[in-house]
Structure 1
Amino acid sequence: MVIHWENIVITIIAFALLYWLLNKFAFGKLFAVMEKRRELVRGQLEEAKQTREQATVYVEEQKEALKQARQDAFEIIEQAKQSSSKQALDLLDQAKADATRMKEEAIRDIESERTKAVDALRGEIGAFSVNIASKLIEREVENNPADQEKLVDQYLKEVGSRS
């Protein structure tokens, strides 16, 4: 194999000329397109990173909101339990108060009726006593005038002491 120096020099000159022409006309545009593409990919990667971070933040916010909603629901349920318990106690207290009031009214009514009945009985007993006494007095007075005077004095003393 024979090496021709002329061919090597011509090849180097052709290669240098080709490189210079490519550098002048093609590499700039090619590198600019590649740089745009690299910036586009870098921007998309950065955008994807930001989107992922936003999604993570959003997921955390949603978890916190869900946790808060559960806590609020639990508090509402507890308030409802307490409220219903308080209402039940209030109703029970009201029922007890009503029962006590009705019992007291019934006792007053019974006492009033008893008093009326006792007064009526006293009146009837008094009327019977007067009838019996008048019959006895009539019998005694007819038989003994001295006893009649004694009986009148005794009655006047009793009436005087009641006044």
Structure 2
Amino acid sequence: MTLEGSEPEVLTTSSLVLGAAAEHSGINTGDIVFQLAMFIVLMLLLKKFAWGPLMGIMKQREEHVAGEITAAENSRKEAAKLLEEQRNLLKEARNEAQSMMENARKQGDVQREEIIAAARAEAERLKEGAKLEIEQQKEKAVAAIREQVAHLSVLIASKVIEKELNAADQDKLINEYIQEAGDIR
């Protein structure tokens, strides 16, 4: 069926949209309530499944970082304490080494004085020993000379008694005895 004289009705998209807008010109509260309910459900689901675990992880991270900061601070304090102890130990060791060196020096001075005193005493003892030996040797020599003189005197006296000598013979005899005494030495 064709109608001649009448214009065919063309439905266009713009006419449909305009028609739909004309029909819905009021606020549709059902859609708003549904969308609001869906938004709230979505927020609750996000809070339970995303925001809660995320906040838990963030809290754990915060606690971990705080623990690390506390541990680092404690380590720093411990290191400072150990450094101070090491400095004190080093200072004590230096003082002890200085004291030991001073004691060693004093002991060395004492030993040196003892050695010098012992050397002087030994030198004095040796000197006294040498003097004593010299004196003994001197006494022996004097005794030997006295013995020889006595022997020569006896010998001269016996020769004189044996012969009556004149002055020339007497001089000759004395010279012989002096020569004999020189040979005996």
Asked if 1:67 corresponds to 2:91, the answer is yes
Instruction: Choose from 110, 135, 141 the match for 2:134.
Output: 110
Which runs of 5 or more residues in structure 1 are unaligned? Answer: 140-163
Q: What is the percent sequence identity of the aligned residues? A: 39
User: Which TM-score applies when normalising by structure 1?
Assistant: 0.67
Residue 11 of structure 1, CA deviation: 8.2
- For the pair shown, which has the larger CA radius of gyration, 1 or 2? 2
Residue 89 of structure 1, CA deviation: 1.4
State the alpha-carbon separation in 1 of the partners of residues 31 and 89 from structure 2.
79
Deviates most, 82-91 or 66-75 = 82-91
Aligned equivalent of 1:31: 55
Aligned equivalent of 1:88: 112
Does the C-alpha gap of structure 1 residues 124 and 39 become closer, same or farther in structure 2, counting only changes over 3 Å? same
Higher RCO structure (Cα 8 Å, ≥6 apart):
2
Residue 123 of structure 1, CA deviation: 1.5
Q: What amino acid sits opposite 1:119 in the alignment?
A: A
State the alpha-carbon separation in 2 of the partners of residues 70 and 131 from structure 1.
89
Aligned equivalent of 1:123: 147
Q: Give the count of matched residue pairs.
A: 135
Residue 16 of structure 1, CA deviation: 4.2
Residue 46 of structure 1, CA deviation: 1.0
Report the aligned-residue RMSD: 3.1
Q: What amino acid sits opposite 2:82 in the alignment?
A: Y
Aligned equivalent of 1:51: 75
State the alpha-carbon separation in 2 of the partners of residues 6 and 104 from structure 1.
141
Residue 61 of structure 1, CA deviation: 1.5
Instruction: Choose from 65, 68, 76 the match for 2:100.
Output: 76
Does the C-alpha gap of structure 1 residues 19 and 79 become closer, same or farther in structure 2, counting only changes over 3 Å? same
Per-residue CA distance 1:69-112 (angstroms, 9 max, x = gap): 20121122112212321221122122112101111111111110
State the alpha-carbon separation in 2 of the partners of residues 44 and 57 from structure 1.
19
Which runs of 5 or more residues in structure 2 are unaligned? Answer: 1-28, 164-185
* Structure holding more helix per residue: 1
Q: What amino acid sits opposite 1:100 in the alignment?
A: E
